[in-house]
Amino acid sequence: MTQKPEERKMSPQETARLESIKRAWQQRRQIGDRLSRVKVKIGVYSGKGGVGKTTVAVNMAAALSSRGYSVGLLDADIDCPNAAKAIGATEAARMEKDGQFIPGEAYGVKVMSMSFFQENEEEAIIWRGPMIHNALNQFLQNTDWGDIDYLVVDLPPGTSDAPLTIMQVLQLDGFVVVATPQSLAKLDAKRSINMIKKMNVNVLGVLENFSGGVFGEGAGEELAKEMGLDFLGRHELLPDYMNSDKPTILESNKVKQEYERLTDLVVAKLPATP
């Protein structure tokens, strides 16, 4: 009789790694189930902060909603959450007893943001990468968006933990990359585009924001040409944006026209919704 070889016991490190893989797989499956009723997911992103990325995400969400689409807005910037304030959320998000999140609402847009759960909006959220990662995953796993046509995701700047988590887990249908005319902003936007491409996600195009006046213009279009991408237009730096209590497209015809054009271009590049 041949003796069966002894089965090798796994080391504690191997067991922990296997359990970690199982948890990650279950987490992704739960996120996939939760987002199965979201038809199209759009990321708004830049490698640099202060380029007006949140302004673009908020106004694009409002523009989609004004066309009769059902829309959600996810503020994925955990440590500096501004989207709820920028869109003028009139109804706060809440957490149910079972741990499920119900989004807030503003102008027909469902909104989820860390700012809804801060006791004091002026206090800094000082978290390391793993805590930010866990908070994002909780939002993705537990938010009940219902049936929506478009989910607009306002990503944090940079190329580290938070945007990486969103790109790996959320399976976005495409990104709008926001740049401003300055050369450093162009360089940072190029870095963010290279990150998106490495993650094999579609870049819908480049938008130049804060164009004209002291900032000049042209860097966004140059970037689009250099990277072989579509140029989505220039949005001027206007005094119309000074009132940040609601989406500017609701108050300014000029800004509304800019976002109508942007929305036309973006919707044309994405999967059709009924």
All structural domains of the chain with their residue ranges:
40-269
Which CATH number applies to 40-269?
Answer: 3.40.50.300
What is the rounded CA–CA span in Å between residue 145 and residue 32? 13
What is the rounded CA–CA span in Å between residue 60 and residue 55? 8
Token reading at 169: 């887990």
Task: Please name which of 43, 68, 69 lies closest in space to residue 54, comparing C-alpha atoms.
Answer: 43
Which are the contacts of 194, defined by CB distance < 8 A and separation ≥ 6? none
Please write the tens of the pLDDT for every residue from 242-262: 877 889 999 999 999 999 999
Please write the tens of the pLDDT for every residue from 168-210: 888 899 999 999 998 888 888 999 999 999 989 999 999 999 9
Report the pLDDT averaged over residues 143-147. Answer: 94
Question: How high is the pLDDT of residue 148?
Answer: 96
Question: How high is the pLDDT of residue 17?
Answer: 73
Burial label for 172, CB within 10 Å (0-12, 13-18, 19+), is buried
CB–CB of 231/84 below 8 Å? no
Token reading at 224: 């689009």
Task: Identify the residue whose tokens are 């893989």.
Answer: 21
Please state the pTM of the whole predicted model.
0.88
Question: How high is the pLDDT of residue 6?
Answer: 58
- The angle that helices 161-169 and 12-34 make with each other, rounded to 10 degrees, is 70
What is the rounded CA–CA span in Å between residue 44 and residue 63? 14
Question: How high is the pLDDT of residue 229?
Answer: 96
CB–CB of 75/59 below 8 Å? no
First to last CA, the chain: 67
